[in-house]
Amino acid sequence: MMQSAVTTRLASLGFAPGVSAHLNLPPAALVEHALRRGE
């Protein structure tokens, strides 16, 4: 599964450990969330 790679990628972007709850969202939603956290 790619989930572990995705989790690692998100962690490198500064996502909280609880980001696993967001893994069921579309990639676009994850990107938007990452951008919002970066603002």
pLDDT of residue 13: 65
Own/partner contacts of 11-16, CB < 8 Å, gap of 24 or more, are: 13/37, 14/38
pLDDT of residue 15: 58
SS (H, E, C) 2-29: CHHHHHHHHHHCCCCHHHHHHCCCCHHH
pLDDT per residue as tens digits for the range 1-39: 466 777 677 666 665 555 555 565 567 777 787 888 876
Predicted TM-score of the model (pTM) = 0.29
pLDDT for residue 21:
57
Cα angle: 33, vertex 17, 7; to 5 degrees: 70
pLDDT at 32: 80
At position 18, the amino acid (one-letter code) is G
